[in-house]
A = this chain, B = another copy of it.
Amino acid sequence: MAEITKYTYRVEPQQVDFTLRASVPSMLDCILNTAGKDAHNKGFGVEVLQQRSLSWVLSRLAVELDRVPEQYEEFSIGTWINDFNRLSSTRNFLLESRGEVFGRAVSQWCMIDLGSRSVADMSSMADVYRAAMVEAASPCDKPLRLGATEPQHRTERPVVYSDIDFNRHVNTMRYVEMIFNALPLERIEHNDGVRIDLNFLAEGRWGQTLIMGHAAEGEVSHFEISSDDGRTLCRARVVWR
C-alpha cells in the first residue's frame, strides 16, 4: 500500500491577485497540476495515456480553503487516491502551511478515449493504479452533484485558442476563472474561507460560444456554463464562510 505523496510549492508573484495573496483560481490550478504531476510520477500520467489515445478528464472537484496563502509563502499539497472503479477514480488533496492544514480537496476523474471522445474503461490501468492507492479517508465531503440553476445574470464569450488545452477542449481553469470573474471583488478581497464544488458535464470546443448563467443568494453563488448548442458544460457552487 502506497503513502500520501507531498509536493512543496511557494506562492509566486504570478499567482497572486491584487490583494497580494494567492488567487483562489491559482490554488485550484496548483491542486490540479499536483494531480497531473503525481499521476506522471506514478506511471499513469497523460503522456502514458496519450500513447494509447486516452486521457484523464476531471468530472467533479470540491475545494475548501480556510484562507489563501501570501506571496512567497511556502506550502505543501499532499495527494492520494483512495477509490477507483471502471469509470471513476477519487484523488484527494491536503494543503498545509506553517504546520497547519489550510485547505482540502477531493477530485473525481474519468478516462476518455481521444478518438471517440467517450468515457473509457479504466480496468486496463488497474494494476498500476492499485499500487498507488492509499487507505486514508477523503479530507472533506466529496464534490456535490449540482442541479440546474435559474440564472439572475447571463454573460457570454467565444471559446478562443488560449482556452483549449492538450485535451483539445476548454481547460478546467477557464471555467474557474469565468466563475471568479463574475463574483464581487469585495468578496474576493475579504475571503475568510470558501468551498467550491464543480461538476464537468461535457466538453467545450473551439468555435463555440460559452454562455454563463449566475445566481447568488447570501453567501452562496450558483453557476452554469453552457455551449451555444445548448449543452451544459459545467456547473459550480461557491459558498463563502
Q: Give chain A's interface residues, CB within 8 Å of chain B.
A: 12-14, 16-18, 20, 23, 25, 29, 32-33, 36-37, 45-47, 50, 71-72, 157, 160-162, 164-166, 168, 171, 173, 177, 180-181, 183, 185, 188, 206
- Kindly list chain B residues whose C-beta atoms are within 8 Å of the C-beta of A17: 161, 164-166
Query: In the complex, what residue of chain B is closest to A166 when comparing beta carbons?
Result: B16
> A55's closest neighbor in chain B, by CB?
B13
- Measured between beta carbons, the chain B residues less than 8 angstroms from A50 are 20
Stoichiometry, as copies per complex, reads 2
- Are A33 and B14 in contact, with the CB atoms below 8 A? yes
Determine the chain B residues whose CB is within 8 A of the CB of A160 once the complex forms.
177, 181
Given A13-B36, A157-B157, A18 contacting B162 (CB threshold 8 A): no
Of B46, B72, B161, which contacts A47 at CB under 8 A?
A: B72
Please, how many angstroms separate the alpha-carbon atoms of A171 and B185 in the complex? 17
Cα(A12)–Cα(B45), bound, Å: 11
A16 vs B164: C-alpha distance when bound (angstroms): 9
CA distance A185 to B161 in the complex (A): 7
Residues of B contacting A20 with CB < 8 Å? 50, 166
Residues of B contacting A29 with CB < 8 Å?
14
User: A25 touching B162 by the CB < 8 A rule?
Assistant: yes
Q: How far is the CA of A14 from the CA of B37 in the complex (A)?
A: 10
| B13 & A46 in contact (Cβ 8 Å cutoff) | yes
Report chain B residues within 8 Å CB of A32: 14
